[in-house]
Structure 1
């Protein structure tokens, strides 16, 4: 807590060097407090010295005639103590020991002693303060013997000195406790803000991961359609104009939709955009969108047989979204690795038993000479999506077919 930003709340006297590194500059508050303490100490010393030098003053009448040499010695020692208040943050230990010795005979340094007791109470722990107060009280016990007050007795003089010393110490403890409490509150507030920023950052990372997964699922589906139709145009340059025009229309439509999806994703991923200016997220497709997905694949030349046993509106939205993405990725993989093959999509299940999805297509007879970019990444993403939804996903070869099988929870 000795960093500069906490210095005004928690003075670094708790460390070995109370004022921080040598040559450290005082803050504005330090200048004001140190100046006030110095003026109080030197002012009290000068006032008491003038009173003791005046034979008719009330102070001289109370304490009796004081030798001039003792008044001058008392004033000189008091001035040194008051000057030491200016560097009390740096040399507090030396100043405190000096004033203990001075308290045994000095009357002019009374206010300076109280300021140092208060400073020890603020800057040091209770054990150090208690020891120092005990030393001051011992010095106060000697003072009435060396310089008795003609107006009061020994006990009353000692009681006055002891009470003012204890009051200064308690005041210092009160200020120290308040500063500790303020630092504790600030530390808790900063930790809470840091934890909140960390939670926000984690939420952003999770949301962007989800968006990236959605982008892969959507764009992979669109681009696979583009690749399929572009390949048909490449290998059938002599096809009838109607077929070429139809394929070109599908390519244009798929490219347009892919660009729209990509623009939406990039818009969400932009940093620095205020939340209230972001466009609302479009509704995500569920089981009710599977027929349109199958029709889109059929328009690309894929033979798709779709079987949906449960009514789409009865399936929970989160489960339906996960099922849609699984089917979409299964159809994309079939177009990539088994073009022209018949694909069977079966969705079944009931509330309480869970929802099952199976995408089956024959294994390809030939292996492409060059590996398809991104192969296997979609299945990894689907496996993670199924696990996050509380389900499971398996894929592999069964007899002569490639089967993608998933199970998702469906609460009763």
Structure 2
């Protein structure tokens, strides 16, 4: 079946200078992929009319769908609408539905409505207006020479609403789309190149319409099988067969057989067992607690955290002995083990983890360099600790520590629950 390709164009000088991070492209790509549209190109350009016109012309040569975000605001630097008028040989008009939406929003907010705000209801006269239920700038749909163009506001929340409620359904109705099926599993504790060696024969023997992708991140590797074809049910069945063949090959390192995060895998395990966890964090500053609680329903498995950044908090709250820190230091096996025992006493939980390390860029020594971390996991009967040495900047060292701690915790829980059987 013919592949349907798309180009995503994000507009705004703020994107080019790094003042704003482009998260819109990733979301749009995911939504397009769900309905069988393959994103062939993603482009960021500034608020420049000629750049926009040239990019639209080039993108239309090899894509059936072009999604544009940004430049729809009421200020002079927002030039997307007049540029689209030039490209589609149209003129600006007022859309009554969009105008009423602007008035309703400002009325609800009890804010004065200015002429500049009313300009949000202006659209090219040959577009199909897509109502924006989350903001004032409507989406706009165009068709030209068998290519579908969609212009969306750059505000992520508004773009997401339009993409899910209007754009994706309309594209599905307008195009004959192939079936795209993904199956993903998460591994931890093995590098990308090593796991590629393990799967070399499996990958070589895959059918031509099923591909294996390696997606590494912070000590983890996601393995994604993607199948494409005309019959979704058949493709889904074929991908499932290959996925089941792959799982035992990586069982030693597999954390989850679905596309979820490591923290979600740990949470799912705790929910399944009916157990709880608490954290005592020094160098990670509560980041692990944040990861665990970022998903709804975490209260079922997470009881609390103590961010013991200073030695005084380690001693006075967690009960770490003064002589332990004096003799071994805050970044030591002995300290993190006592932190686990302390948080289990303070916060009644089945399991706990603790972190202490030197995240950088300063604070290291020859004996304890930047990136050195001690992590402990345990319950009221047993505590284990391990040392890690990371070599990155502060942010990534914290993220790597969190990943290592959650991996250790998961392994410890599985080990302890196995001993009960």
TM-score interval, normalised by the smaller of the two chains:
under 0.3
Normalising by the residue count of structure 1, what TM-score does the alignment of the two structures yield?
A: 0.18
Normalising by the residue count of structure 2, what TM-score does the alignment of the two structures yield?
A: 0.18
Which structure is higher in helix share?
1
Q: Which protein is bigger by CA-based radius of gyration?
A: 1
Which structure is higher in strand share?
2
